[in-house]
Amino acid sequence: MTRSQAGTSHGDRQDVPGTQESGPAVRRGRLRAIVDIPEFGVVAACVLVFVIVTILQPRFADAANLQVIGLDLSNYGILAIGVGIVILTSGIDLSVGSVVALCSMVSAYLNVNYNVPVGLCIVASIVIGLVIGYLHGWFITRLDVPPFAITLVTLTAAAGAALALTSGQPISGVSFFYQTLALTKVGGIPLPVIIFVVVALAAWVLLERTYIGRQIYAVGGNREAARLAGIPVRRRLMLTYIISGGCAGLVAVLVIGRIGVGDPSVGSGWELDAIAGAVIGGVSLYGGEGRIVGIVAGILLLMLINNALIVLNVSPFFQQVALGLVLGVAIVADRIRARARGQARPRGVPLFGAQGSKAGAKDTPAAGAG
């Protein structure tokens, strides 16, 4: 699936006028246009996995199993959207799994030990996520701490804090409202799936239909160009980390409901699945490229594969291997895509080389991550 992805974006570039390759490309016309959509590969892979596994094991497509997939999807999917928006700026947020643990513990703790009304506990969970995101953004934009480093700090510290709160004991006896939230079904669709869809739509609107979203892309695509176009780069970066933290705080609430207790060990390693989902969905780790539809398809593909391996009775250990392989293919495809793009320029458009002697001589790659 990811092969075709790499192939398509190469084709993207060759549609430029003045390229030599015209004959076969024209004939492919309509099909080409569909295949050219960057997310085509991952969406096609989702369909393919679903169809094949359903043929192998019809139980896979049962409503009950689909609801399980939906619940997984809502947890990981909301995280992937938050982290994906961060990655759009060529940043990273490694902390989300631990933030889920910490937020859910604090929320449950307030609810059980201090009898705080559940509504406030839910708000508290989200607010803690937002505040952690704000702190990440502050360190990254004010002190130039690398995103990897500062969120690694939180990854460790928040997981530890979640455990320390109750010396590692789960908190039971939380308000039933958590469960209501997580287990209610509307027309057979679990409420968390609907929440996920709302979050995804909101993220889509932000990125595709607001000027702030476009500026986030610009900051990720070329930070210096964004700055010199008058875009407040720091504020946009800050916002992405706040969104990511808030998403983790929201997931924490759903998680309490799903397992019925505040569990300090929950969320461990989830950040990796979330990042993997975004990257599989075509979000470039170098920033500036990727869309919500891709992130959703990417995380859905992961959930489908995970669940398929369970339904097909594959050993849990191989599930990890499978996740790793899918991610590996996606990352390699990302590089192939970027490379195809870089080479397509001078080859496809001969005049493009006219960059003057100075620029040509020191044609060093942009400090994209800087």
Partner 1 sequence: MTEPANGRVTQGNAGGVSLRRVSKTYGLATVLQVDELIFRNGEVTGIVGENGAGKSTMLGILAGTVTPDPGGEVAVDGEPVHPGSPVASQAAGVAMVSQEFPLVGQLSVAENLTLGLRPGGGRGFFYDRKAVTAAARGMLERVELDVDPDAPVSTLSIPARQLLEVAKALGREPRLLILDEPTSALGPVEAGLVIRIAREHAANGGAVIFVGHRLEEVREAADRVVVLRNGRLVADFPVAEATDDRLIREMVGREHLASVTADHSGLARPAPVFTAEELTAEGLGPVSLSVSEGEVLGVAGLMGSGRSRLLHTLFGAIPATGGSMTLTGARYAPRSTGDAVAVGVALVPEDRKQQSILAAAPVRWNVTLATLQKISRSGFLFPKTERDRAAEFAGRTGARFASIEQPIGSLSGGNQQRVIFGKWFAAQPKLLLLDEPTRGVDVGAKAEIYGLIDEARARGMAVIVASSELEELFHLSDQIVVLRHGRIGRVLAKDQFSKEQVLLTASGVKEIP
* Among positions 1, 218, 248, 252, the unique one binding partner 1 when judged by CB under 8 A: 218
Q: Could you tell me the maximum CA-CA distance found in the chain, to the nearest angstrom?
A: 73
Helix (H) or strand (E) holding 116: none
Note whether 89 binds partner 1 by CB under 8 A. Answer: no
CA-only gyration radius of the chain, Å: 22
- Taking the complex as a whole, the smallest distance from the CB of residue 203 to partner 1 amounts, in Å, to 14
- Taking the complex as a whole, the smallest distance from the CB of residue 333 to partner 1 amounts, in Å, to 16
Q: Of the two residues 14 and 166, which places its CB atom closer to partner 1 in the complex?
A: 14
* Cβ-defined contacts of 16-23 (< 8 Å, 24+): 16/344, 16/348, 16/349, 18/348, 18/349, 18/350, 18/351, 19/348, 19/349, 20/348
- Taking the complex as a whole, the smallest distance from the CB of residue 200 to partner 1 amounts, in Å, to 18
Nearest alpha-carbon partner for 122 in 134, 104, 98: 104
Name the one range near partner 1 by CB under 8 A: 54-62, 122-130, 181-189, 211-219.
211-219
* Among positions 82, 262, 288, 298, the unique one binding partner 1 when judged by CB under 8 A: 288
User: Residue 186 in 3-state DSSP?
Assistant: strand
- Residue window 1-20: x/- pattern of binding to partner 1, with contact defined by CB under 8 A: -----------xx-xxx---
* Among positions 2, 215, 244, 307, the unique one binding partner 1 when judged by CB under 8 A: 215
Q: Of the two residues 269 and 360, which places its CB atom closer to partner 1 in the complex?
A: 360
* Among positions 210, 314, 320, 321, the unique one binding partner 1 when judged by CB under 8 A: 210
Name the one range near partner 1 by CB under 8 A: 20-28, 96-104, 122-130, 213-221.
213-221
Helix (H) or strand (E) holding 143: none
Q: Of the two residues 77 and 288, which places its CB atom closer to partner 1 in the complex?
A: 288
Binding to partner 1 in span 314-343, by CB under 8 A: 341
Name the one range near partner 1 by CB under 8 A: 83-91, 210-218, 300-308, 311-319.
210-218
Note whether 21 binds partner 1 by CB under 8 A. Answer: no
Q: How many CB atoms lie within 10 A of CB 173?
A: 12
Are 46 and 304 contacting, i.e. CB atoms less than 8 angstroms apart?
yes
Residue bearing tokens 């076969």: 24
Output the CA angle 124-129-134, nearest 5 degrees.
120
Q: Which two tokens stand for residue 127?
A: 């607010």
Crossing angle, helix 118-142 and helix 176-183, to 10 degrees? 70
Residue 262 DSSP label? B
The residue type of 276 is: A
Q: Which two tokens stand for residue 82?
A: 């938050």
Note whether 26 binds partner 1 by CB under 8 A. Answer: no
- Taking the complex as a whole, the smallest distance from the CB of residue 138 to partner 1 amounts, in Å, to 17
Contact positions toward partner 1, by CB under 8 A?
A: 12-13, 15-17, 205, 208-215, 217-218, 221-222, 224-232, 288-289, 341, 344-345, 348-362, 366
